[in-house]
Chains A and B, each alone.
Chain A
């Protein structure tokens, strides 16, 4: 009997690499219209893990091009020549600086912003714009989505997250404005559908977008009128609303076509109960998103800061956060190292995926700058200097990789971000306590 099913999402070879070439619609269109970019665009991703790492096992031996991977980073061996390992980089505003306890909240809040979060349980949440959003403001309009925020953990339901800081701080690393965190999508199925849509005919799509545009026009007018009658704080909330409406309007206006072939990825399970599977699916989605040039800026939180997840699959039954307060107990430190290495091996999955996608002469990985790290170094002592930071990819060959780069203590991590944004064609001039982009990466 013949098969005559409609186009449905088929089960895909799980985790064996996206082996097809998908058309890069927007980028191709941009190039076809005469834009002067002969090579593939640079994409930036920021992947964050909680609770710091066992630093003696993280840091590499050697210098410059003459070095070996540390035990924790050893799973990255296949990509060693595409890596840059950093030491000495610091987020000064993750430190207390007079605000007392709350290093986890501060670590997440300052990781991509370089700003000191205002210590509050609710009113007047304030930190700073994060590097991904600052870059998205400059290049976001070139792609279907200005940026993508993904995560694994939902927000906490209630109670306190860290010592008098609202949970908003420990649950987010991407901040659109100093007071608006960019909510992260944790459901792979919904992330996929949002990015690649469900199959609709061009006529249906056009009709739907027409309706949406009218609705958005109407509610924007509503909101603008309302705004005039409100006090300052309320106006800021309405501004969040209006900004979001405008962004969606822009996207709806630009959306004229769908991908001819829907990417294959089995997301039918929704949110997997297995952590590894969940993480890999999200990495798959980021790879697909970059491959199709649906966005060039992405952040991914592997867990909320202070996460107490256990990892039975690698024999770690204690909680991550509890263990990270090891107080120099060698057994606990060993458990943390296992967790550290496990996260790194999942990251390696991501890098392999990116490396397997060809873009002209280079791989997608080459064309990326993927930052992997944490806002805490020593999870026991809650230090914010000499952070664990790895950069993968060469930004389209613009930086020299396969190196260890050691910086003097307290060099702002934000300087690296400025350099990255410059390479990605979205040069941000300053962020947090940055003093200027790192200049010696090329």
Chain B
């Protein structure tokens, strides 16, 4: 396990484990002084203190003297370095009141960044341990006497994806209006964070526009008119008659026909509609014959001189491919005619359109909503009410009040009367539902919304929404609504059953596509632009393939309920032909993605996916620092202290001495005391991946030198090459478990985590570890957790 504390950015957990402290001491050996020092056996001291609230007495005995002796010279009252003053702190409470300052102190101590390497006096190991321990308990441990605090989520707008999915599941159409909405702003790494999702005027307009398009797509105002298929001039075939295209019309100058052969899906009556015009000449009007399967169905007289009009005929058609022709049957050509305009008769066809079947039933999406109509026995108002009483509870994801139903029904009725169309009324009512805050937001209510002590469980409908948006990124289904209606959804057994059912539903792939890709930042690949000259094989298609590879691996891990550690060292991946070629592997048969076992020695897990390797590179070369940072953020969960305010420039001498390898340039990071504390953590990780170029291909050489992919992670060990790096990182699996727990809990709740959540995180992470790090254990732990099932009013500790 790494010697650093687990990520504290969102406030750590409260439990102690002895191994953590032994490795903190190990850092002392490897990094701080460079000289070998005996490992201080601190387990006795540590066990004494752990679990107890950090006391004022300890502050005065252990913390203050150390600070005074070592820190105050630079960080005192007068012109403190980096503006950070540690003077004037006399009590434990004052520390808490200046939380940010002391969090910074904690982060520096943790990576042994302060005091700087060349400074005397230094902290002894024991002093450092005691400081770290006390600060950890003070800043991050919950007072065990305090009751559980479930936290609260701000009223939660559907994000773009959730909107699309909800519309799909509510109405059955797969028409994705939210693709045109402005991007969702991101918070805590995810795009489903309630506090960050806002509702500016532009977005509301889009909601209104979308509701119109959706309502018109779902509910046909003239339901009997069927579908239209139009074949335009360019696509019409020509049979004789020199049918050239001119100005959008297929022109027949002599006898001949234009035709199309649409596929008739359902037998029935159809309208065959042709838009045509003619050059008139001679005594008769131009005539256009409509033929179906070679047989004449109708002969139209085309009126007017070059006056386009539509000509229709109804006809019964069989299912299958059907040849429809528009033929010019009375060509006339008299070059001798005195009036030039009377010499040549021609026919022009702009399109042939098929509409029907005329007696078809309405599409299913229409009937689902409009399942009843006004009739002799049912008034307009009654039919309207019935429709919305079925629709609205599903749209609002809860039972609706009579007044709510009435408002929408009244609107629909008034529109229906104004526009003399029952269906039009339903459309407008549906629009109002889709723009209502009850649809656009997931609403959870508190009896005492401003009382932070008013903890209470969610009601079953609120719980159903949390479950479905967590696991499916969409609305609850019928079964969930049913159980919520019975008031049993929150019962442990039922919850477990539903969880299992939901995870086996393909809709749960949303977790792979949304949670995993956001956690791994893989979606950001769309922003990256590798240099086209250096990397000509990087195309937009390859980019999407890369993203897909990572998504499919995530999906497999989730679907097969594997250990989450497989993200680190899965021995399989998914490639299609293009990606296989990119990696230099045998190309699989077939077009789509296939699972392949990784050839040994080069790649394991997502760290060696082209997606992440490209994401963490610059357009023209790899970036050690970016790759190191990615691993710190998403695998190790280690938050570094702030970089210095002015990153000092590299010495002129370094550049003057000519081209240096990347490693040599970065060595300067380590040589400068200002830089080394962070970079000795970042750089080795990045070096471990140097065998992969800026678009993730394997290489043995870089900048003319063989790649040196070796490094040492303090507290974890040494490695050479990516496979060993992955094994070394895996040793940190307990912290990894906590990291994934935090990430997924953030995603599931839609809010950042607070100190108060540390108990829940602990419980979940413990359960995860105890179950072989399996995916279902994590999801189950989250769903049963306090913050997931409960909430409270506002107020309480502000950030």
Residues of A within 8 A of B (CB): 1-5, 96, 98, 100-101, 120-125, 146, 149, 153-161, 163-164, 166-168, 171-172, 176, 179-187, 190, 194, 207-208, 211-212, 214-216, 218-219, 221-223, 226, 229-234, 237-238, 240-241, 243-245, 247-248, 308-310, 312, 317-319, 322, 325, 327-329, 381
How far apart are the CA atoms of A428 and B756 in the complex, in Å? 43
| 10 more CB-based (< 8 A) A-B contacts, given A163-B642, A319-B618 | A1-B249, A155-B182, A158-B521, A160-B633, A164-B9, A231-B152, A233-B154, A241-B204, A319-B529, A328-B649
Which residue of A is nearest B643, CB measured?
Answer: A101
A/B interface sample: 10 pairs, CB < 8 A: A2-B247, A156-B183, A159-B521, A163-B642, A184-B182, A184-B202, A244-B200, A312-B533, A318-B619, A327-B647
Looking at B155, B203, B277, B524, which has the most chain A CB atoms within 10 Å of its CB?
A: B155
* A166 pairs with B437, CB closer than 8 A: no
Judge whether A123 and B752 touch: CB under 8 Å. yes
Judge whether B531 is part of the interface by a CB distance below 8 angstroms.
Answer: yes
B306 at the A interface (CB under 8 A): yes
Which of these binds chain A: B12-20, B184-192, B311-319, B468-476?
B184-192
Q: A222 and B437 in contact (CB under 8 A), knowing A157-B186, A194-B205?
A: yes
Contact B188–A121 (Cβ < 8 Å):
yes
Tally inter-chain residue pairs, CB-CB below 8 A: 255
Query: Which residues of B have CB within 8 Å of A168?
Result: 185-187, 196, 198
How distant is A217 from chain B, measured CB to nearest CB, in Å? 9
Instruction: Report the Cα distance A153→B523, complex, angstroms.
Output: 14
Q: B418-449 interface mask toward A, CB cutoff 8 Å, 1 = contact, 0 = none?
A: 01000000001001100111101101011001
Verify if B180 is at the interface (C-beta below 8 Å from A): yes
A113–B711 CA distance with the chains assembled, in angstroms: 46
Q: Is the CB of B199 within 8 A of A244?
A: yes
B561 cross-chain contacts in A, Cβ below 8 A: none
Contact: A214 with B204, CB < 8 Å? Answer: no
Q: Are B198 and A240 in contact (CB under 8 A)?
A: yes
How many Å from the CB of A282 to the closest CB on chain B?
A: 15
A159 touching B411, Cβ below 8 Å: no
> Given A157-B186, A212-B208, does the pair A5, B248 have CB atoms closer than 8 Å?
yes
Query: Does B450 touch A at the CB level, under 8 Å?
Result: yes
- By a CB distance below 8 angstroms, the chain A residues around B618 are 308, 318-319, 322
A219 touches B532 (CB 8 A): no
What is the distance, in angstroms, from A165's C-beta to the closest C-beta of chain B? 10
* A327:B155 contact, CB within 8 angstroms: no
Given A318-B620, A327-B650, residue A233 in contact with residue B196 (CB < 8 A)? no
A159-B524 CB under 8 A given contacts A3-B248, A231-B450, A248-B204:
yes
Assuming the contacts A207-B419, A232-B450, asked whether A327 and B649 have C-beta atoms less than 8 A apart, the reply is yes
Least CB separation from A211: chain B residue: B428
Whether a CB of chain A sits under 8 angstroms from the CB of B794 is: yes
Docked pose: A123 CA to B247 CA in angstroms: 59
Asked if A183 and B202 sit within 8 Å, CB to CB, the answer is yes
Contact of A219 (CB < 8 Å), options: B188, B435, B521, B619: B435
Q: Which residue of B lies closest to A221 (CB)?
A: B407
A222-B404, A248-B208 as given contacts; A234 in contact with B155, CB under 8 Å = yes
CA distance A124 to B437 in the complex (A): 21
Given contacts A1-B251, A1-B348, A240-B200, contact A166 B205 (CB under 8 A): no
Closest A residue to B515 by CB, please name it.
Answer: A158
Chain B contacts to A: CB under 8 angstroms: 9, 83, 152, 154-155, 157, 180, 182-191, 193, 195-196, 198-205, 208, 211-212, 246-249, 251, 277, 306, 308, 348, 404, 407-408, 411, 414-415, 419, 428, 431-432, 435-438, 440-441, 443, 445-446, 449-450, 517-519, 521-524, 526-529, 531-534, 618-620, 623, 633, 642-643, 645-647, 649-650, 655, 751-752, 793-794, 798-799
Question: Which residues of A have CB within 8 Å of B204?
Answer: 241, 244-245, 247-248
Taking a contact as CB atoms under 8 Å apart, the answer to whether A211 and B415 are in contact is yes
User: B629 — nearest CB in chain A belongs to which residue?
Assistant: A160
Contacts of B201 in A (CB 8 A): 146, 176, 182, 243-244, 247-248
Contacts of B645 in A (CB 8 A): 96
| CA distance in complex: A329, B645 (Å) | 20
Residues of B within 8 Å of A230, CB to CB, are 155, 445, 449
Q: How far is the CA of A171 from the CA of B247 in the complex (A)?
A: 46
List, in ascending order, chain B residues with CB within 8 A of A164's CB.
Answer: 9
Q: A237, B199: Cβ atoms under 8 Å?
A: yes
Closest to B529 in A: A310
Most chain B CB atoms below 10 A, which of A223, A233, A308: A233
Q: Which A residues are in CB contact (< 8 Å) with B208?
A: 212, 215-216, 248
Pairwise interchain contact A229-B449, C-beta atoms closer than 8 A: yes
Determine whether the beta carbon of A171 is less than 8 Å from that of B183.
yes
B408 lies within 8 A of A218 (CB): yes
Contact A219 B196 (CB under 8 A): no
| Residue contact A185 to B202, C-beta cutoff 8 Å | yes
Q: Shortest Cβ distance from A205 into chain B, in angstroms?
A: 13
A161 to B183, CA, bound (A): 14
Contact of B529 among A100, A190, A309 (CB under 8 A): A309
**Closest B residue by C-beta to A326:** B649
A325 to B649, CA, bound (A): 10
* Nearest opposing residue in chain B for A121, CB measure: B188
Whether B534 lies near A317 (C-beta < 8 A) is: yes
Most buried by B among A5, A122, A186, A237: A122
Q: Which of B9, B195, B308, B649 has the most CB of A within 10 A?
A: B195
Q: Which residues of A contact B532 (CB under 8 A)?
A: 312, 317
Distance A423 CA – B154 CA, assembled complex (angstroms): 41
- Complex CA–CA separation, A172 to B182 (angstroms): 12
Complex: A97 Cα to B88 Cα, angstroms:
21
A179 surroundings in chain B (CB, below 8 A):
198
Check A215–B446 contact: CB distance below 8 A. Answer: no
